[in-house]
Structures are given as structure tokens and as C-alpha cells.
Chain A
């Protein structure tokens, strides 16, 4: 019996995926777990694996095509077996998009995952008993259909879900893996274990979590003699495409200016005295940007197709360099956070980014980007706008400048700011006004604590 290969849904807000390239042709023999093709989602690239041993019987889409999620894109089965593309392309069982993500059984990336692990986000109302049972069984409440009077998940709903799972095959999991799955919000039901009798192990859970967040950059050496050639793939490829696209599409203007941060540095030193976790300069800048944007939303405007979109939320994208490239976790509603909350939020996100544990959702929805290269001594640069944002603030180094301050010559600490904006949606004057407000905040740092 032939097995479907579908376009996997790899995140809460993923609607479609693009086929970057097929690794196999129709008629090729494949083993379960072989990479069949590579796809690109909104943020990451991942490989789709063969769901079974056999032959690639059919493929319905070619390289470069964009396919809605859960659409059947190929079949793997016995040689000579007849298959037909399902009407509309979608997998019947998985058709209702609103249904629990667990049944989306598409093999992706890491060899252990049979579907994109469900990341628990958002609060699921559930009775205490239902919560306790879900925790004990290592399942995510997001996957359970609620029947409670007030829309809450009740114990019977969890029981029903568990029964359905056990009809498909019981979840066998080590206690440690269960706990880790719960911490990471990974639905065990979506993982095929690699342990004895398919028991899910710690490694399986980490693998599944990673698959959903940041695919591995694989090095494939194709040539030698002094030069290492690495196939452009995964995150590098996405970064490359996006940077080119931004530079090509956007008439970008960069305004360079400097803010006097002498007082800010003094305040920071004072506040950090005795604090276990210190505030960084970047924390102050993030806070100032959030506050400035809270008061002036012009820079949040962006162009999508032939529409201007006026964003309301101050969601700061924060560029973080990691080994595999660059990721931009998002600080949601940054203007509504106190200095302390925002600093903690930023540190958590940076930490997750470096550990490769960011979820798709944590990388979605930015309305403004901040990128900081100050620690490398850069004094000014022209940052590339992170689409669909129309602005990016490049934070540069702090330098000691001998200048006139209130009529007296003295050394002052100056922070370089390189602010790039999309001139299609934001003109120079409003951009400059925003920067003026931002500098004022940085120069009156106590305002940031109010």
C-alpha cells in the first residue's frame, strides 16, 4: 500500500511551503528516513523524509513550487503500484486545518519525527485533573478537543485522546523524555521512538524539538584542494535569499547619528551595582526603541504587495548571530514591558536562539528590528532591512569623543546609531523625527525606568 508524502505543517502559522529541491526522482528506490526533498518555510528549511521503504512512485510538484501545507506531494510504495493524486491535493484525514495538529503525520527532518512536534503556546483552559493527566502522559493539551461547558478540557477528553493514541499504538516513553517533552512543549504523540520497542528517548525529544525550530546545517564537501565547498542550504540559504530580496526590492536610506550616552552609562553602572544579572547597553537601547515606538508608530508601517500595513504592536525583532547563521527572535509587545521585564525577555530569547531552541512562533511577527554590532567596534554601517519590516536600527560602538558639552570642552560617550528605513513607506523627515526622539530617550535614561 502506497504511503503519502505531504507538505508538512511546521509551525502554528505556517500556511504553505516551497519545494527547494527534490533529492529523488520518480522510480528511485528509497528507504524509510531517506531525505526525499528539501522545503523552505517562512523561516527555515527542512528535509522531508521518506515515510516508508519502497520506490518514489509519483511526485506532483516540482522544484520552486509553493504548496499549501498538508497537501499530498508524492507517494512512496511498491514498485509498479498505481497511485492517484487526491482531489484538491489535501490529505482527507488531515483536512480540517483547525483540528489538532497531532494527526499531521508527515516525516520531516530528523529521523525520529513523524510529524512536526506540536509546540504548546497559548493557554489551554482545562480542569486541574485534565492538566495533571496530560502532564502525566506527556501530551500537550493543545492536541485535545475540549468538551467542557466553558470550553475547558476535561479529564474525559484527555482519556479519549489517549485512547485514540493507543488505538494508533501506545506511546512508550522514558520518564526523563516525558519530562523534557513537557518542558519543551513537544507532543510525544508526534514522535516515533528510537529506543527498544520504539520507546521515545531523551534524544528523540530533543531531536523533534530541534526539527521544529532550527534545522541542522549540513556540510557536504563536494570539492577539495585547499578549498572547502559547502552546499548552500538550510538557514544559510534562507539568509542569503532574504538579504538579496531586501536589498533588491527596498529603496533603503540609512541615517547615521550619535546619542550622548554618558549619563546612561553612569546610570547603568549604578543600577548594576550588586545586581546578579546586569543590564547591558543593548537592554537600554531595546527599552528606548520600544518606548519611542510606543509613542510614535510611523516606523512600524510597512508595504506588503500593493498595500500599506499600519502595525500597532511593538514587536521588536532582535538579530542574534548563531553558529549556523542569523536568527531574529521577536520580543512581543516590547513597549508594554518594564526595563527589567524586557531585559529578562531579551536574555531568554538570546539564550534560546544560541541553544537552537527558538520555536517558529518565537521568530514570527516582528514589526521593527534591532541589530547590534557595537561590541565589534563598528562605528556606522548600513543594515539591511528585515522584511516585512520597513525599518532596522543598527546599534554601533560607544566611543569617547572630545566635544563641547554645555559650553565646556570635555570627553563624552557617544553611541553610534545607523537607522535604515524603507523610503517607500517611510519618508526621511518622520524617520529623522523618530531618531531624534530615540536619542532624547537615550540621553535622558531615567525616562526609561519610569
Chain B
């Protein structure tokens, strides 16, 4: 199967189009996703191709249309709701936390809620603290939700197709700074299963567990470390819930060292969860140094680009952390 180059955004659009072609119950709803083509242009030509009945432009009313997505999912549709910025998830937090993930269980398994909530997550755009957050830890704290966060065009397409076909509410966290990055995507039909991590680079000296935009920082750091003879393994989790724990555990058993890198703030972040997963497992007895978490400082994302960059992990910080753990 050949591969063609496309952007992360185009890969997402391809997945959306293919799934809407495949299943007439799939439709999209969200703010400005039609004629405007989406705040980040993800929709592209979808409105022209599928029309207003399948690409539904909603009022600025996150609770209203997220609730509508849940109701229609319960009754047989497969809605894809787009929340413009992941920060706006907080506006309809009830739907995300009390409704979508709870209904199936609370109603004794009588219903399922097959829907995808797509949103643009992460910072780096100079949009300040209400348009830049990485809120995945809040979402992973809610049994009933699945949480996906792709780092490459290939993953984005394959994972989105699986998310749309999944019979549960899936939170699909797109990385807004990756929308225009390019990568090779397999031609034709393929899916990537949820809950399976990807070892983006194999290595023997230290495991770096990461996801989303930070995958690229870690790969950059890995390259520089390789030049110094330090061979790190980079695990891209891809799905945060359910998390591919066996992959992490096996890798740490191999490398004996682990650092965790994420863009979200450190306190209460998934880094703690990942570290705990390792120490609760048999990998604990293979650790030869404390696990290090690299994450954003515990601060609202600042506006000034120097400050914003300064609070986030970067290649130099990753390299330093790897060296510290191997010291």
C-alpha cells in the first residue's frame, strides 16, 4: 500500500469524509463548521460535499448541541460534535462528565452513546489561558469516556475512523499546532485501534512516554541524544484512555529508565498516572532511577510567547531530563 503526503488537518478531513460516505448515520455538528469550514479549517469542502443536513451549523450553544449529540447518539445516530477549542469543553462539562459517559452504565447497559467529540487542544498559539489548555487529565478521570490524542496525520486518520466506529463517547483531542504539519498517510482504507500505543522510535537506554504535540519534541531530542550515543525509546500513547499499559511496562523493563513528557500542567496530570502505572507493575523492579515528569509549569497558559514557551517542555529540557535519569 502506497503512502501519500498530507497535513494532519487533511488527514482528519479524509477520515470524516470516508466515514460519512460509509455510514449515513454519521454526521457533524458544531459552531462554524459549514461555510466557514471550521475555526481551524478542518471541515474544508465537507459542507459542499455533504450539505447542511450532514454538516450541521449550530448556535453558539455548547451545552445545547452536545446534549443534542448525546440524544441522537442514544437513538441510533453517530454524531461528531466539534468543540472549537478544548477550553470550551468546560462550558458543557455536564454533558462530558455527567451525561455522555454515565448514561450507559447508569441505565443498566440498556443504551450506548456512540459519538465523537472533536476539539482543538493545546497551546502555542498566543491565545492565552482560555484558548490554550490541555485538559486531557480531566477527561481521563471520567469512566465511560475514551480519550484519543493523535500526533501524526497517519495516526489522526486511522484513530478518528476507529473513534467514529466505536460504540462509546470518544473525546478526540486534535493538536492545533499540528494541523498544518505534514506526514505520510497510507492510501485507501485503514484504521488504527484505540488503546494501542505506538513506539515512534525504538531505543534501549531510556523510555520517554509522551503523546500529542510533545511526541515531536521528544523525537527531536532523541535524535540529538543519539548523536551522543544515548539511545532513547519514544512511546506515543495515542490513546490516553484506555491506556496501553503493557507497552509502557515492557519498554521500561527493557530500558530501566523512564521520563514522561506532556504539555498539560504537571500537578494532577497524566504523568503522575503513568508513573504510578509503572511503579504498580513489575516494571518497578527494573527501574534504576526515579521517574521524571516533564510538563507545563502549574500556571495558566501565559500570552507572551516567551513566557508561554518558557513554561513548556522543550528539546533541551527533555535532553537534560534524560541525562539526569541516566546519571
- Closest residue to A154 on the B side, CB-wise? B288
Residues of B within 8 A of A128 (CB): 284-288
| Chain B 271-288 interface 0/1 with A at a Cβ cutoff of 8 Å (1 = within) | 000000000000011111
Chain B stretch 254-293: residues in CB contact (< 8 A) with chain A: 256, 284-289
The answer to the question of B327 belonging to the interface, with a C-beta cut-off of 8 Å to chain A, is yes
| Chain A 123-149 interface 0/1 with B at a Cβ cutoff of 8 Å (1 = within) | 000011111100000000000000001
Query: CB distance B256 to A155 under 8 Å?
Result: yes
A127 to B285, CA, bound (A): 8
Query: CB distance B285 to A132 under 8 Å?
Result: yes
Query: Which size bracket describes the interface of B in this complex?
Result: under 10
Min CB–CB distance B207 → chain A (angstroms):
13
- Closest residue to A131 on the B side, CB-wise? B285
- In this complex, how many residues of chain A approach chain B with their Cβ under 8 Å: the count is 10
Chain A stretch 150-167: residues in CB contact (< 8 A) with chain B: 154-156
Of the residues A127, A149, A156, contact of B287 by C-beta under 8 Å: A127
A191 to B284, CA, bound (A): 31
Query: CB distance A129 to B327 under 8 Å?
Result: no
Name which of B256, B285, B288, B289 has the most chain A CB atoms within 10 A of its CB: B288
- Closest residue to B327 on the A side, CB-wise? A149
Min CB–CB distance A166 → chain B (angstroms):
20
Min CB–CB distance B285 → chain A (angstroms):
4
A156 to B289, CA, bound (A): 11
Residues of B within 8 A of A149 (CB): 327
Residues of A within 8 A of B287 (CB): 127-129
Residues of A within 8 A of B327 (CB): 149
Min CB–CB distance B254 → chain A (angstroms):
12
Chain A stretch 76-131: residues in CB contact (< 8 A) with chain B: 127-131
Min CB–CB distance A126 → chain B (angstroms):
10
A132 to B287, CA, bound (A): 10
Chain B stretch 305-323: residues in CB contact (< 8 A) with chain A: none
Residues of B within 8 A of A130 (CB): 288
Min CB–CB distance B70 → chain A (angstroms):
45
A131 to B285, CA, bound (A): 8
A155 to B285, CA, bound (A): 11
Residues of A within 8 A of B286 (CB): 128-129, 132
- Closest residue to A148 on the B side, CB-wise? B289
A290 to B115, CA, bound (A): 68
Residues of A within 8 A of B288 (CB): 127-130, 154-156
Min CB–CB distance B289 → chain A (angstroms):
6
- Closest residue to B284 on the A side, CB-wise? A128
Min CB–CB distance B251 → chain A (angstroms):
14
Min CB–CB distance B321 → chain A (angstroms):
14
- Closest residue to A136 on the B side, CB-wise? B285
Name which of A127, A130, A131, A149 has the most chain B CB atoms within 10 A of its CB: A127
A155 to B289, CA, bound (A): 9
A129 to B283, CA, bound (A): 9
Name which of A129, A131, A154 has the most chain B CB atoms within 10 A of its CB: A129
A149 to B325, CA, bound (A): 10
A304 to B284, CA, bound (A): 49
A130 to B290, CA, bound (A): 12
Residues of B within 8 A of A132 (CB): 285-286
A130 to B284, CA, bound (A): 11
Min CB–CB distance B204 → chain A (angstroms):
14
- Closest residue to A126 on the B side, CB-wise? B288
Extra contacts besides A127-B287, A130-B288 (16): CB < 8 Å: A127-B289, A128-B284, A128-B285, A128-B286, A128-B287, A128-B288, A129-B256, A129-B285, A129-B286, A129-B288, A132-B286, A149-B327, A154-B288, A154-B289, A155-B256, A156-B288
Q: Which 4 A-B pairs have the closest CB atoms?
A: A129-B288, A132-B285, A155-B288, A127-B288
- 5 CB < 8 A contacts A-B: A128-B287, A131-B285, A154-B288, A154-B289, A156-B288
